[in-house]
Amino acid sequence: ASTVKRFDSNLLNEARLQKLFLSSKILFPEEFLKMLDGNDEGTSKVIHVNSEFECEDGSNILQYYNEKTIFLTGATGFLGKLILEKILRTCKGVKRIYILARPKKGVNINDRIDQLFAGPAMDKMKEVNPSFQDQVSLVPGDLLLPYLGMSKESIQSFKDEVNIVIHCGATVRFDQKLREAAYINVRSVRNLLDISKETNGLESFLYISTAYSHCPRLEIGEEFYNPPIKPDDLLKLVEMLDEKRLIKMTPIILGEWPNTYSFTKAVAENLIKQESENLPLAIVRPSIVIGAVKEPIPGWIDSIYGPTGLMIFGFLGILRTAHGNPNTKCDLVPVDFVVNCIIAAAYQRAKLNRMPAISSNHRDEITPIFNYCYSPNLPTIKWGYYLTRVRASAFSVGSTRCVWYPSVKLRRCIYLFKIEKFFNMIPAYVADLVFKIMGREQIAVKLMERLFNTISVLNYFLRRNWTFTTDNTQKLFKSLSSTDKKLFDFDMEAIDFESYNKNYVYAMRIYVVKDPLETLEAGRRLVFKLQIIYYISWIALFAILYIVYHFLSSIFM
């Protein structure tokens, strides 16, 4: 990415634009490398859509963000980091972005900013906007603390300067303790809303929720639903109970909700509803966010949360089985398209006229909710098929870090899953036995148990089907200018999913597994060898069972 050349308007034509920016067909490693290195056959320079790109009709979104001050939470997370990158790379006219981040002992602000902007995901942004640090201010804070842990000076600066709030920060751990989840996902929202009500120039407050905030419902529209508990009641409850009693009561409090994450997100949405008359609010609800289609790097992923962990450990041959229904729909959305939807939604909300007094029955009209999910107009993709495609990609993108033949299957029957889990654990027990003989720490079984516990939080979502309404999201995209549709593309129907999935696997290999493309051929050879060993082991097992059967038959018959 560091070798990508700057934009040259003389090279621009519609056919070329369609080829380079609206296509995700980067199927092979050679093409993948060309995309990263900036080399494409038939051109002397590579064109990249960025804030220097202009068309005759212009960009309304770029114009809106010009000279705006933004307050962003969650910028150190997978989604928040790419929101930050996209704004700084494309909306270079922003006046300032305040980033809430936990302070680190012994690390000054400048070093903290350097850490935040390290890594390949930021390379393109640094190239097109070398003075980006002049637009960034780090605000020490912590979502776990009252009023986000912000100082009085920081709060006053917020009130005086901020025009746009993007509240992306949250704990995304499904097994987070209820007290911490309530403080981070609910109290922080209430405190941020309270501060925003005293802000002079606030034009848009965007809350990033999840499409599964009301997951007990199998049909989820772009509207508010009743919360499982009132926000104030939840906060009083977690403050009143000691930790032991709260842990014991958590399943009762959650009720139909499978985890503290979706539960607290549902509660927080009610806070947004309560303030709909007072603030310019909107909600974006993405479903399961995975790697990027094209920005900042095709397939980009640096997180193992959610299904990415399932895919990576299956890709490496470590995980062989998981509890779920292979025939359920998987609602996966690319992170860069989610980012573009968020940026466009904040702009769209600022366009709406504030309505002074409105019935609570019509709050949805001034507080739009955008479900960003897999398009209902696209063919359904099921978990079983998706994992099969990822496995197929593993043969062409094989990693030198594979420990066994890549194959992970979803089992609906809990008993069959437990049997396969037992066999999946055997190598870990053998490894720990070897470690014990060698006098080393026995960690293999612990790591495998931890892996299965991590994957188990997905069971609820791997065994159910949801139907999401996306009318508002589709209308939002259609309302954009032709330039904005290219700069801030989030049209799922334009994605070539075969190409996208392959790029995603490449990116997992490079950026998560840390296995560079230079070892690609060695990885393929290893996977091929493991495949041969895998089938030979099964043949040997059946041969042994056959011999044992005949031996026992000769004795007892």
CB atoms within 10 A of CB 8: 13
- pLDDT on residue 254: 92
The full set of domains in the chain, from first to last, is 62-287+327-380+476-491 (3.40.50.720)
- Tell me what percent of the chain is helix, strand and coil, each rounded to the nearest 5: 50, 10, 40
- pLDDT on residue 365: 57
For the chain, which residues score pLDDT lower than 50? 1-56, 354-360, 362-363
- pLDDT on residue 209: 96
**Paired tokens of 13:** 């034509």
Residue whose pair of structure tokens reads 């637009």 in the numeric block: 135
Task: Give the pairing of strands 69-73 and 96-101.
Answer: parallel
Question: Residue 423 carries which side chain, given as an amino acid letter?
Answer: F
CB atoms within 10 A of CB 59: 24
- pLDDT on residue 428: 87
In whole angstroms, what is the distance from residue 273 CA to residue 57 CA? 36
CB atoms within 10 A of CB 273: 20
Mapping DSSP to helix (H, G, I), strand (E, B) and coil, where does residue 72 land? Answer: strand
**Paired tokens of 338:** 């989610």
Helices (H), 188-297: 188-196, 231-240, 243-254, 260-274
Is the overall model pTM greater than 0.85, yes or no? no
- pLDDT on residue 191: 95
- pLDDT on residue 4: 33
Q: What is the pLDDT of residues 285-340, one digit of tens each?
A: 999 999 999 999 998 998 887 788 888 888 888 888 888 899 999 888 999 999 99
Do 545 and 339 form a contact (C-beta atoms < 8 A)? no
| 269 Cβ neighbours under 8 A, 6+ residues apart | 207, 209, 213, 224, 225, 227, 283
DSSP lists the bridge partners of residue 372 as: 286
Do 12 and 308 form a contact (C-beta atoms < 8 A)? no
